[in-house]
């Protein structure tokens, strides 16, 4: 399975990169959420699929025997939530950018770069 999941993780990442390189902010943030998903897939592989049993200690026994590695799962849980927060932030930014610039195409949204730009004539915010 290593190869298959490696393919899945790397492949999804590539797709995410391709979307991220778009100039449409919405597509970019979709790409970024795809990136975060793919990263979770990659982290999951550090557990090596050594078992299909969840890391939950069954009633009666006191210790975990033969289960999936719990650590990557914990890391991924954290990563998922953080990724979610960041995606939401990007969405909010995209919304406000659209509200203030009437566009979500990054080549048309230049107000940050043109602020105090030495090359362009002076502008004020």
Partner 1 sequence: MISSLLALSIAGSSLAYPVARRLGRWAGWGMALLPAALFVAFLGYAPASSAGIVATDSLAWVPSIGIDFSFRLDGFSFLFCLLITGIGTLVVIYSGAYFSDATDRERARFITLILLFMTAMLGAVLADNLIVLYLFWEATSILSFLLIGFDAASAHARRSALMSLRVTVGGGLALLAAIILTGATLGTFSLTEVSARAPELAASAWAPAIAGGLMIGAFAKSAQFPLHFWLPNAMQAPTPASAYLHSATMVKLGIYLLARFEPFFGYLPRGREVLLAVALVTMLVGAFQALRAENFKSVLAYSTVASLGILVMLVALDGPMATVAMMGFIVAHALYKATLFFVAGSVQHATGLSKLRLMGGLGRYLPVTAVAAALASLSMAGLPPFLGFISKEFLFEAQIQSTTDAIPMAVAVLVNAVIVGVAGVVTLRPFFLGRDREIEVRHGERLGLIVGPIILATLGLVISLDPGWMNASVFGPAVAAVYGTTVDVTAAMPHGLSPVLLLSGVVLGIGALIFVFWRPIHRRLRVQLWLDSYDAESAYEALLRRIDDLSLKVARTVQHGDLRGYLWTVMAAAVALAGWGMIASGVLPRIPTAEEMGVVRLGPALMALVGLAGGLAAARARGLIGAMLAVGLAGLITALMFMVNGAPDLALTQFSVESLTVVLLTVALLTLPLAGHITRSAGERKRDMALAAAMSAVLFVALMDMGSSTPVTEVSAFYGERSYIEAFGRNVVNVILVDFRGLDTLGEITVIAASSVLVWSLLGPQSRAEGQTPIASGRSAFIFRFTSPLFFWPLLVLSVITLFRGHNAIGGGFVGGLTAALAFAVVSLSHGIEQTRRRLRIHPALLVGGGLTLSIASGLPGMLVHGTYLTHVWFETSVLGFTIKQGTATLFDMGVYLVVLGAVLSYLFGFQREAAR
Partner 2 sequence: MITVPAGILAVAPVLIPLGGAALTVLARRRQPLQRGIMEVAVVAQLVASVLLLVTVASGGVAVVTLGGWGSPFGISFVADRLGALLCVTASVIAVAVALFARADIRRRRRKAGFDALFLAMLAAVNGAFLTGDIFNLYVWFELMLVCAVGLITLDRRRAQLDGAFRYTSMSMMGATFMLIGIGLLYGEAGTLDMAHLSQVMSGRPPSIALSASAFLLLSGFVLKAGLFPLFFWLPASYHTAPISVAAALAGLLTKVAFYACLRVFVLVFGVAGTMSPVNGMAPALAILAAGTMVVAVFAAIAQTDVRRLLAFHVMCQVAYLVLALALLSMLGIAAAVFYMVHTMLVQAGLFLGAGAIARANRGYDMRRAGGLMSDRPLFAGVFALLAFSISGIPPLSGFWSKFLVIDAAFRHGSTTGAVLAVIAIVVSFLTLYSMSKLWTQAFWKTPVRKGHAAKPIPATMVWSVAILAVSSLAIGLVPDALLSYSREAAVQLVPAAVAESLP
In the complex, which residues of this chain contact partner 2 (CB under 8 A)?
20, 25, 28, 32, 35-36, 39, 42-43, 45-46, 48, 71-72, 75, 78-79, 82, 85-86, 89-90, 93-94, 96-97, 100-101, 106, 109-119, 122, 124-125
Closest CB 50 distance from partner 2, rounded Å? 12
In terms of CB distance, is 71 or 125 closer to partner 1? Answer: 71
Closest CB 53 distance from partner 1, rounded Å? 5
Find all residues with CB under 8 Å of 107, minimum gap 6, and list them.
23
Burial class of residue 113, CB neighbours in 10 A (0-12, 13-18, 19+): exposed
Find all residues with CB under 8 Å of 33, minimum gap 6, and list them.
16, 83, 87
């Amino acid at each position: 399975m290593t190869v298959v999941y490696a393919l899945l993780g790397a492949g999804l990442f590539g797709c995410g990169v391709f979307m991220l390189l778009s100039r449409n902010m919405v597509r970019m943030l979709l790409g970024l959420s795809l990136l975060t998903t793919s990263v979770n897939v990659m982290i999951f592989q550090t557990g090596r699929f050594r078992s299909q049993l969840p890391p939950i200690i069954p009633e009666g026994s006191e210790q975990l025997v033969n289960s999936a590695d719990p650590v990557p799962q914990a890391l991924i849980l954290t990563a998922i939530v953080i990724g979610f927060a960041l995606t939401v932030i990007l969405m909010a930014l995209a919304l406000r950018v659209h509200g203030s610039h009437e566009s979500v195409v990054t080549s048309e949204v230049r107000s940050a770069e043109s602020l105090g730009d030495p090359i362009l004539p002076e502008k004020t915010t």
